[in-house]
Amino acid sequence: MGQIAVKKIAFIGGGAMAKAIIKGIIGGGLIAPEMITVGEPTEAHARSLHEAFGVNVTTDNKKDAWVLSIMGSVTLEQLHAYAPGFPVIRTMPNTPLAAGAGMTAICCDEAVTEPMKQTAAAIFSSCGEIEFVDEKA
Protein backbone atom coordinates (compact mmCIF):
# COMPACT_ATOMS: atom_id res chain seq x y z
CA MET A 1 0.00 0.00 0.00
CA GLY A 2 2.81 2.49 0.81
CA GLN A 3 2.96 5.52 3.03
CA ILE A 4 0.35 8.27 3.26
CA ALA A 5 0.81 11.99 2.65
CA VAL A 6 -0.01 13.18 6.19
CA LYS A 7 2.80 13.66 8.65
CA LYS A 8 0.82 12.95 11.82
CA ILE A 9 -2.39 11.17 12.83
CA ALA A 10 -4.24 11.75 16.09
CA PHE A 11 -7.02 9.65 17.62
CA ILE A 12 -9.48 10.94 20.18
CA GLY A 13 -9.89 7.87 22.34
CA GLY A 14 -8.01 4.60 22.22
CA GLY A 15 -10.81 2.03 22.33
CA ALA A 16 -11.12 -1.25 20.45
CA MET A 17 -11.83 0.31 17.04
CA ALA A 18 -8.98 2.83 17.37
CA LYS A 19 -6.62 -0.01 18.29
CA ALA A 20 -7.73 -2.01 15.25
CA ILE A 21 -7.17 0.98 12.96
CA ILE A 22 -3.77 1.72 14.50
CA LYS A 23 -2.80 -1.92 14.02
CA GLY A 24 -3.81 -1.67 10.35
CA ILE A 25 -1.96 1.60 9.80
CA ILE A 26 1.25 0.33 11.38
CA GLY A 27 0.97 -3.14 9.83
CA GLY A 28 0.35 -1.57 6.41
CA GLY A 29 3.43 0.64 6.77
CA LEU A 30 1.35 3.78 6.19
CA ILE A 31 3.03 5.86 8.87
CA ALA A 32 5.54 5.22 11.65
CA PRO A 33 4.07 4.56 15.12
CA GLU A 34 5.81 7.62 16.58
CA MET A 35 3.84 9.81 14.16
CA ILE A 36 0.55 8.64 15.70
CA THR A 37 -0.87 10.28 18.82
CA VAL A 38 -3.77 8.92 20.84
CA GLY A 39 -5.71 11.18 23.18
CA GLU A 40 -6.87 8.85 25.92
CA PRO A 41 -8.15 10.34 29.20
CA THR A 42 -7.33 7.24 31.26
CA GLU A 43 -3.63 7.37 32.05
CA ALA A 44 -3.21 3.60 32.53
CA HIS A 45 -4.90 2.88 29.18
CA ALA A 46 -2.81 5.56 27.49
CA ARG A 47 0.33 3.92 28.83
CA SER A 48 -0.77 0.48 27.61
CA LEU A 49 -1.40 1.88 24.10
CA HIS A 50 2.11 3.29 24.03
CA GLU A 51 3.59 0.00 25.20
CA ALA A 52 1.55 -2.08 22.72
CA PHE A 53 2.01 0.05 19.59
CA GLY A 54 4.82 2.54 20.23
CA VAL A 55 2.45 5.47 19.60
CA ASN A 56 2.50 8.79 21.41
CA VAL A 57 -0.22 9.27 24.00
CA THR A 58 -1.74 12.25 25.73
CA THR A 59 -4.62 12.87 28.10
CA ASP A 60 -5.37 16.12 26.19
CA ASN A 61 -7.66 15.78 23.14
CA LYS A 62 -7.35 19.36 21.83
CA LYS A 63 -5.91 19.22 18.27
CA ASP A 64 -5.52 21.53 15.28
CA ALA A 65 -6.51 19.15 12.49
CA TRP A 66 -9.34 17.75 10.40
CA VAL A 67 -11.79 15.26 11.86
CA LEU A 68 -12.08 11.62 10.85
CA SER A 69 -14.86 10.09 12.92
CA ILE A 70 -15.70 6.44 13.60
CA MET A 71 -18.58 7.30 15.95
CA GLY A 72 -21.65 5.26 15.04
CA SER A 73 -24.92 7.06 14.24
CA VAL A 74 -23.32 10.50 14.54
CA THR A 75 -24.14 12.64 11.51
CA LEU A 76 -21.88 15.14 9.75
CA GLU A 77 -24.08 17.88 11.20
CA GLN A 78 -23.52 16.60 14.74
CA LEU A 79 -19.78 16.26 14.12
CA HIS A 80 -19.67 19.88 12.96
CA ALA A 81 -21.38 20.87 16.20
CA TYR A 82 -18.65 19.04 18.16
CA ALA A 83 -15.81 20.42 16.03
CA PRO A 84 -16.98 23.64 14.36
CA GLY A 85 -14.82 24.93 11.54
CA PHE A 86 -13.02 21.65 10.88
CA PRO A 87 -13.33 19.53 7.71
CA VAL A 88 -15.08 16.27 8.65
CA ILE A 89 -14.91 12.74 7.30
CA ARG A 90 -17.49 10.36 8.75
CA THR A 91 -16.71 6.66 8.56
CA MET A 92 -18.75 3.61 9.41
CA PRO A 93 -16.34 0.70 9.91
CA ASN A 94 -17.52 -2.75 10.96
CA THR A 95 -16.08 -5.15 13.53
CA PRO A 96 -14.13 -7.43 11.11
CA LEU A 97 -11.83 -4.40 10.70
CA ALA A 98 -10.01 -5.74 13.78
CA ALA A 99 -8.98 -8.80 11.76
CA GLY A 100 -8.04 -6.78 8.66
CA ALA A 101 -11.22 -7.93 6.89
CA GLY A 102 -13.50 -4.97 7.51
CA MET A 103 -15.74 -2.92 5.28
CA THR A 104 -15.81 0.83 5.85
CA ALA A 105 -18.23 3.31 4.33
CA ILE A 106 -16.76 6.82 4.08
CA CYS A 107 -18.58 10.12 3.56
CA CYS A 108 -17.03 13.57 3.47
CA ASP A 109 -18.26 17.10 3.93
CA GLU A 110 -17.65 19.78 1.32
CA ALA A 111 -14.52 21.10 3.08
CA VAL A 112 -12.64 17.79 2.76
CA THR A 113 -9.83 17.97 0.21
CA GLU A 114 -8.72 15.23 -2.15
CA PRO A 115 -5.55 14.53 -0.08
CA MET A 116 -7.75 14.12 3.02
CA LYS A 117 -9.95 11.66 1.12
CA GLN A 118 -6.88 9.75 -0.07
CA THR A 119 -5.59 9.60 3.50
CA ALA A 120 -8.89 8.24 4.83
CA ALA A 121 -8.96 5.70 2.00
CA ALA A 122 -5.42 4.55 2.76
CA ILE A 123 -6.11 4.24 6.49
CA PHE A 124 -9.24 2.15 6.13
CA SER A 125 -7.93 0.17 3.14
CA SER A 126 -5.17 -1.00 5.48
CA CYS A 127 -7.91 -2.71 7.52
CA GLY A 128 -10.15 -4.05 4.73
CA GLU A 129 -12.36 -2.75 1.93
CA ILE A 130 -13.74 0.80 1.58
CA GLU A 131 -16.54 2.55 -0.25
CA PHE A 132 -17.15 6.31 -0.51
CA VAL A 133 -20.85 7.06 -0.08
CA ASP A 134 -23.21 10.01 0.35
CA GLU A 135 -24.33 10.40 3.95
CA LYS A 136 -27.96 9.66 3.04
CA ALA A 137 -26.85 6.17 1.91
41-50 per-position pLDDT tens digit: 899 999 999 9
- The reported pTM is 0.73
Instruction: Report d(CA 65, CA 84) in Å as an integer.
Output: 12
Q: How confident is the model at residue 23 (pLDDT cuts 50, 70, 90)?
A: very high
- pLDDT, tens only, 112-129: 999 999 999 999 999 999
Instruction: Report d(CA 11, CA 64) in Å as an integer.
Output: 12
Pairing type for strands 67-69 and 56-58 reads: unpaired
In this prediction, residue 1 carries a pLDDT of 54
Sheet holding 102-108, edge to edge: 67-69, 88-93, 102-108, 128-132
Amino acid at 100: G
The residues, ordered by sequence, that sit 6+ positions from 81 with a Cβ below 8 Å of its Cβ are none
